[in-house]
Structure 1
Amino acid sequence: MRQGQIHSVDYLLENRRQLRQNLTSAEARLWQALRGSKLAGRKFRRQHSIEDYIVDFYCPTEKLIIELDGLMHNQTSINLNDQERDARLKQLEFIVLRFDNSAIIKDLGKVLATISCHFRKV
């Protein structure tokens, strides 16, 4: 990682590619709704790295991170890891939103509305 560089660090490139090629069904569904600046004209990236973390979705103009959680995130060790990760990202002044995969499947419209609520007014 170059001094001061926190985005798209080189050593995570292959991991990011693998994750983009193997999206969960919830990630694929949300990506279809976000890609191409479909949500209020905001550009999103998927499987973007920030420091040592790979986030599911990232909107650079809003400094907004969206994480989708499956059942494994209910495990204590993973949940604690998520909390530490979120705390570090918030320390870097990012907004972190987490949604269960089931929320994407059950009510994508509500998820998109929640995301939109975090956009600054332009």
Structure 2
Amino acid sequence: MRRNFVENLPYNPKLKPLLNGKRKAGILSEVLFWKQVRARSFHRIDFDRQRIIGNYIVDFYAKTLGLVIEIDGWSHDNKGSYDIERQKYLESFGLNVFRITDFDIKNNLSVVMKDLENFIIEHYSHQ
């Protein structure tokens, strides 16, 4: 697997106080996804939860791959242009963004995990 470790990502320390609240909020889809990937349980990939990149807090981040996982729930409704701008910003650092819906995690978790596996194979396999 090709590594894509992106060094020196921007970090806004003013967002740090928000991290504990976001983690403790216990959003069901995030908790369900975290149970699938924590402690390197998904293909031995190390994921961070609620990672600050620039002026954004991303849901999950796999630093060895430069992979951001975003779970789109009700808070993303009517925020299409914001999500596009945010994704372009993250991609400008060479990061890949994998988007999944809150609904799919709650209703099709095994499919979501297979889709993530396929995304990683597609974007990180040796060429």
Give the TM-score of the pair, scaled to structure 2.
0.84
Q: Secondary structure at the match of 2:26?
A: coil
Task: Give the alignment of 1:77-92 within 5 angstroms.
Answer: 78-92=79-93
List per-residue Cα deviations over 1:3-47 (Å, max 9, x = no partner). Answer: x5514x422111111111113100000001110001000000010
Amino acid in the other structure paired with 1:98: R
**2-structure distance, mates of 1:15, 1:28:** 17
Task: Tell me how far 1:110 sits from its aligned partner.
Answer: 1.2
Residue 107 (structure 2) aligns with: 106
Amino acid in the other structure paired with 1:42: I
Task: Give the alignment of 1:4-83 within 5 angstroms.
Answer: 6-7=10-11, 9-75=12-78, 78-83=79-84
If asked which structure has higher relative contact order (CA below 8 Å, sep 6+), I would say 2
Q: Is the 8 A contact 2:9 2:93 kept in 1?
A: no
Task: Tell me how far 1:72 sits from its aligned partner.
Answer: 3.4
Sequence identity percentage: 27
| Two-structure CA RMSD over aligned residues (Å) | 1.6
**2-structure distance, mates of 1:61, 1:95:** 12
Specify every segment of 5 or more residues in structure 2 that has no aligned partner in the other structure, as ranges: 1-7
